[in-house]
Chains A and B, each alone.
Chain A
Amino acid sequence: MLLSRRQRGDKRRALRIYFATDIHGSDVCFRKFLAAAKVYQADALILGGDFAGKALVPVLPQDGELTARVEGQTVTVPAEEWEQLAAGINRAGFYPVRMEAAEAAALQADPAALDRLFRSEITAQLQRWCDLAAERLDPGVRCIITPGNDDPLEADAVLAAHPRVECPEAGLCDLGPVTMASLGVVPYTPWDTERETSEEDLGKQIGQMLDQVPEGRNAILNIHCPPYASGLDDAPELDDTLKPVIRGGRPSIIPVGSHAVREAITRYQPTVGLHGHIHESRAAQKIGRTLCVNPGSDYGSGVLRGAVVDIAEDGTCLDFLLTTG
């Protein structure tokens, strides 16, 4: 138990959060995310970034059939089975796009056009997801989606414009008993992704947000990058070609989280830290009084990993559970 019976006293739950992250374009995972509200009786759903998919699969029509590469193999199905094929492709979070062979060849030669297509697919999917949230969620359930470093900047506008979804990126959000600060920016990575900055700047951004939290009020940090060396940030060490380093017959695992996030948690001691970014480092750790959680991600299997967190009326953390659904 997070708190002993004596510590809990007669504290009652005032807020239940369901947090998931890094679903990378998986429709199945997003649908499960919405279903989590009922299953876990959550008051607020928080999707903590990296919702954009990583790959795009051209589906080529020819003679009444559709051909595409799925899970490393070329698959051909009758044209009427488009929906099943698209679902199969999207099971790994990839975007199925119908196009002619000539268009696919042209995309290969034009990285800028490919980049535009990616952004278009990502924002279109995000729009569909927001609409689905409006359709399926009980009006009393809050739906908060914040971006991560892999999400294009265009996504912010989609989220900001949708009436059913909240996107308090780089700002504060009142959740009732607690205030939540959110930030999707991460320290520089070897992949040079959309939202990266220096550790120094990251620390400054987090500090600016948390300085605005009223004194005496508990806070939750929804920061995409986990704190350094917290057990939430264990990832394979990479060589210069971005391949995992093998030592003693096993991948070498090192901490890759943010020093700035750790320092902010140590200094401000929020109630809870909600993190993602490192899919394979599913863990929960306490840094001082702060419970830090990274539910990990298994989006490629259509499995939604998440965390249920109960918050008391005074903004303290009552309980948590890591889930696999």
Chain B
Amino acid sequence: MASSEAAAGRVDTASTQLFIRQTSGLVRELGIPAAVGISLASVAVVNTFINFNAGLTDFPKADMYLPLVAAAVIWLVAMFAYRYLLRAVPRAGGEYVYLSRVVSPAIGAMAGLGIAVVFTYVLSTNAHFAAQFTPFMLTGLGLAFHSTAIANAGNHFGSNLSIAWLSVILMLIVAALSLFKVKIVARIIFWLIVLQLVAFVSLIAILAFKSHADFVTAYGSFSHHPGAYQATITAAHANGVLFGTSIASAVAIIPFMVLNYNGVLYSYYVGGELRRPGRTYLYASTISILVLVVLWVGVWALLRARAGLTFMQAQANLGVINPTAYAKITSLSSVSGGLGYGLLLSGDPITKILFATAVPFAEIAVNLAFVTVTTRVLFAQAFDRLLPVGVAKVGDRNHAPNVAIGIVLVIGIAFCFLTSLVALGSIVALQSLFFALILLAGGVAALFLPLRRPDLIELPGASEDARKSFLRKAAWVGGATTVLALFTVYELVAHSSVYGKFSWESILTLVIVLGAGPVIYVIARSVRRQRDSLDLSLAMHELPPE
């Protein structure tokens, strides 16, 4: 027997009551804390310490304060664009749904299939990244267990072939874990994220409570060379490493920082579950962006104070420019960044183990999440009949999407070998550009919303003028996001030597990735029409209510 209750009357005056009937199902139950959790969990927090190091390698004279804040501003503007899209299409499915409904199904297919391909590639790059950290992990574990054998074992994993195999092993671990029931996979991701956060907080604490002198001593002690700190800087000078800071470098690295924030707006992917979606999404995203700005600016300030900017620039670049000279000074992995500094400063085995294993655990967590997201994107394409329905088949025993997981992982493992053994860099160099284009897609969808689908925006009780004003704002914010995304794209193109070289291979790859969706859509539609099957264009056909 259904029962009824007075709900909003508890908090509002009698004139604005809402009576809710007890029925099954959830209606927009996720509040701001849950949405903040979703946003922050979508950003690989522990990578912060490594990404600064990578940024200094690519842009030696970049100080991170301006890029961190500028990139946050770009995401804040984009956040408003997605807010309007969420207002128009509350049960969101990301760019695929936005573009399909607001622009056209073919353009939506471009985003959908492109995202699936690029996300699969990202799986392999994450695995490759974690494999590269194996020597650092073994160094850390060796220090924790006082075992030279473990520490030296890292020397056996430097070749491309061994990194390829390590990447494959990591992918197989992800594959095995993905085949568990969804609930178990969620628990595994949860605990891996907990470990990541514990490592992150421990690292901040160690950096906060140790001094610059402690760091210099610890680095010297680890390197068995009391003057290792100064020797690293001197060697970097001799090898032409650039020191100091410049505005031009800070501006050029903004797209890199934009990519670091990628995921911070992901609560819109669960737009259908958010309580008062527009408001909740806005608050949650703002809080998440602010948390990240404060955290990352704070971490950067700590790293500058403890290790010193000059040393960080020297260490990051010497290891790349002249690895032999770097290896003569220290055995600390040059790519380890802040994690490596924390490892040197930590005095107990527990934190050493945490820092040593942070990257592999983080990447396994990220890859498990990516497998879920990528299979969902494949599902959406299969349900829209762009891919065979069998792709979305759920296993009878484990209730997992075995076929989709299999496809994603087979392609991912192939990418692992290609990434490690072939000069795939030139082919997939435009991966960064693709992610910037996704941001551009969001801006364009918001810009086109008032022009193509003003009917999707309804403001109950508001006058027509207020509605038009709302639509104008959506266009302005969409336009601003488009401009900022274009700026990001421009910077990526202008600094292609760092972000990805333009070669016939890379351009062809991008064209294939972007073109695959529309081509498959057109082919699938024409084949179905020839067979007298249901027309694919009906899938997103707007039904007239009158």
Q: Which A residues lie at the B interface, using CB under 8 A?
A: 1-2, 5, 8, 13, 24, 28, 31-32, 35-36, 39-40, 50, 52-58, 60, 62, 67-72, 74-77, 84-85, 87-89, 91, 94, 101, 104-105, 107-108, 111, 114-115, 118, 149-150, 152, 186, 189-194, 229-231, 234-238, 242-244, 246-255, 277-280, 282-286, 298, 300-304, 308, 310, 318-325
Complex-state Cα separation, A196 to B418, whole angstroms: 55
A250, B270: Cα distance in complex, Å: 9
Asked whether, in the complex, the Cβ of A324 is within 8 Å of the Cβ of B539, the reply is yes
Measured CB to CB, the nearest residue on chain B to A307 is B383
The main secondary structure of chain A at its interface with chain B is: mixed
Q: Is the pair B538, A321 in contact by a Cβ cutoff of 8 Å?
A: yes
| CB-contact partner of B27 in A13, A54, A282, A319, under 8 A | A54
A32-B545 CB under 8 A given contacts A74-B16, A104-B17, A191-B24? yes
Looking at B21, B34, B383, the one whose CB has the most chain A CB atoms below 10 A away is: B21
Q: Is the CB of B399 within 8 A of A229?
A: yes
- B192 CB contacts on chain A under 8 angstroms: 248
Q: Mark B356-389, 1 if CB is under 8 A from A, else 0.
A: 0000000001000100000000010001110011
Rounded to whole angstroms, the CA-CA distance of A88 and B459 in the bound complex is 7
The smallest C-beta distance from B291 to any residue of chain A, in angstroms, reads 13
Q: Is the CB of A191 within 8 A of B23?
A: yes
Please, how many angstroms separate the alpha-carbon atoms of A106 and B123 in the complex? Answer: 59
Q: Does B25 contact A (CB under 8 A)?
A: yes
Knowing A60-B15, A70-B461, the reply to whether A152 touches B273 (Cβ < 8 A) is no
Instruction: Indicate with 1 or 0, residue by residue over B1-34, a CB within 8 angstroms of chain A CB atoms.
Output: 1111111110010111111111111111110001
Across the two chains, which residue of chain B brings its CB closest to A91? Answer: B458
Are A85 and B273 closer than 8 Å at their CB atoms?
no
**Most chain B beta carbons < 10 A, residue from A250, A283, A310, A322:** A250
A59 to B507, CA, bound (A): 59
5 closest Cβ contacts across the A-B interface? Answer: A249-B41, A88-B460, A75-B461, A325-B543, A248-B190
A278 to B273, CA, bound (A): 13
Q: Residue B21 contacts which of A53, A69, A74, A105 (CB distance < 8 angstroms)?
A: A53
Could you write out 8 A-B pairs with CB less than 8 Å apart?
A: A28-B545, A55-B7, A89-B460, A190-B24, A193-B23, A249-B190, A253-B182, A323-B539
Tell whether, in the assembled complex, residue B392 and residue A32 are in contact, meaning their CB atoms are under 8 Å apart: no
| Inter-chain contact A68/B389, CB cutoff 8 Å | no
A242-B26, A248-B186 known; 18 other A-B pairs, CB under 8 Å?
A32-B544, A40-B538, A52-B23, A58-B17, A68-B461, A74-B16, A88-B461, A111-B3, A149-B24, A229-B399, A235-B25, A244-B273, A247-B190, A282-B383, A300-B91, A301-B90, A319-B533, A323-B540
Chain B, residues 512-546, CB within 8 Å of chain A (1/0): the string is 00000000000000001001111010111111111
CB atoms of A150 and B23 under 8 A apart: yes
Given known contacts A229-B394, A253-B182, A36 and B543 CB-to-CB distance under 8 angstroms: yes
Contact between A1 and B91, CB atoms less than 8 A apart: no
**Residues of B participating in the A interface, judged by any CB pair closer than 8 Å:** 1-9, 12, 14-30, 34, 37-38, 40-42, 89-91, 101, 182-183, 186-187, 189-190, 192-193, 270, 272-273, 276, 279, 365, 369, 379, 383-385, 388-389, 392-394, 396, 399, 401, 458-462, 528, 531-534, 536, 538-546
Task: Please tell me which one of the listed residues B19, B183, B385 contacts residue A58 in the complex, with CB atoms under 8 A apart.
Answer: B19
Q: Which residues of B contact A57 (CB under 8 A)?
A: 17-19
Give the Cβ gap from A197 to chain B, nearest Cβ, in Å.
Answer: 13
Contact partner, A248, options B189, B270, B534, B536, Cβ 8 Å: B189
- Rounded to whole Å, the gap between the CB of A38 and the closest CB of chain B is 9
Write the chain A residue with the least CB distance to B97: A324
When the two chains form the complex, which single residue of A35, A84, A301 contacts B545, counting CB atoms closer than 8 Å? A35
Closest CB in chain A relative to B498 CB, distance in Å? 31
* Chain A: CB-nearest residue to B18: A69
Contact of B392 among A89, A255, A285, A308 (CB under 8 A): A285
Q: Whole-angstrom distance from the CB of A143 to the nearest CB of chain B? A: 16
Q: Considering the chains assembled together, what is the distance between the CA atoms of A28 and B460 in angstroms?
A: 14
The residues of A that contact B461 with a CB separation of less than 8 Å are: 68, 70, 75-77, 84-85, 88
- Which residue from A40, A56, A237, A298 sits with its C-beta under 8 Å from B19? A56
B40: which of A31, A69, A249, A324 is its contact (CB, 8 Å)?
A249
